[in-house]
Amino acid sequence: IFKIKVDYPSVEDEVKIIQTHHERRGEKPQTLIEPILDAKDLADYKTKIQSVLVEEKIIKYIAELVSKTRNHPHLYLGGSPRASISILNTSKAFAAINGRDFVTPEDIKKALKPILNHRIILTPEREMEGMTTENVIDMIVQSVEVPR
C-alpha cells in the first residue's frame, strides 16, 4: 500500500547496525523476532477497522483529491480508484489507532503521501526541475476544500 522513503542512517546509527550484525555472529535476524499478534488478534483488528465510520463528505474528499492527480499539469500519471480505496482503508486504520471510530480529513491527509508516492508519476520536465511527488500532493491538498 505504501511507499515509505527511508534516508541513509547517520554515522552513529550505521555503527549500531554494523555492531548488531557483528554481535549476531551469523544468527539469522528473523530468529530473534517474537510474535506480538496471532491470527485472531489480526482478524479482530481488521473487523474494528472495517467498522470505522466514514461520512459521505469524507469519501467525496478522497475522490476529489485523487481525481486532481489525474489531470494535474505536473503529473504524467495520476492515482487510480485503487489509490482511493487504499486512502480510505488507511484513514480508517489511522482513526482506529488514534482511538476514534470515525475518519477525519487529517487522517486522509496523513495517508496521502505514503499511498500516492508510488502511484503518481511526475512529468519528466518537473522531475528534472527537482520537483517531487510530495510537492504535487501538497499543491493538490491546498487546492481542495476540506470538508467540515
Domain ranges of the chain: 36-143
pLDDT at 135: 96
Q: Please list the residues that pair with 75 across neighbouring strands.
A: 122
Say if residue 118's pLDDT is above 90: no
Contact indicator for 147, 57 with CB cutoff of 8 Å: yes
Cα–Cα–Cα angle for 43, 48, 49, rounded to 5 degrees: 100
Say if residue 1's pLDDT is above 80: no
What's the pTM value of the predicted model, to 2 decimals?
A: 0.82
pLDDT at 100: 96
49: left (phi over 0), alpha (psi -120 to 50) or beta: alpha
| Cell numbers standing for residue 87 | 486512502
pLDDT at 21: 87
Say if residue 26's pLDDT is above 80: no
pLDDT tens string 28-86:
777 778 889 999 999 999 999 999 999 999 999 999 999 999 999 999 999 999 999 99
pLDDT at 2: 78
CATH architecture of structural domain 36-143: Orthogonal Bundle (1.10)
State percent of the chain over pLDDT 90. Answer: 80
Say if residue 6's pLDDT is above 90: no
Which tops the pLDDT comparison, 33 or 115? 115
CA–CA separation, 65 and 79 (whole Å) = 9
SS3 76: strand
Residue 34's alpha-carbon distances to 29, 31, 37, 38, 44, in angstroms, are 11, 8, 9, 11, 20
Contact indicator for 68, 115 with CB cutoff of 8 Å: no
Contact indicator for 133, 120 with CB cutoff of 8 Å: yes
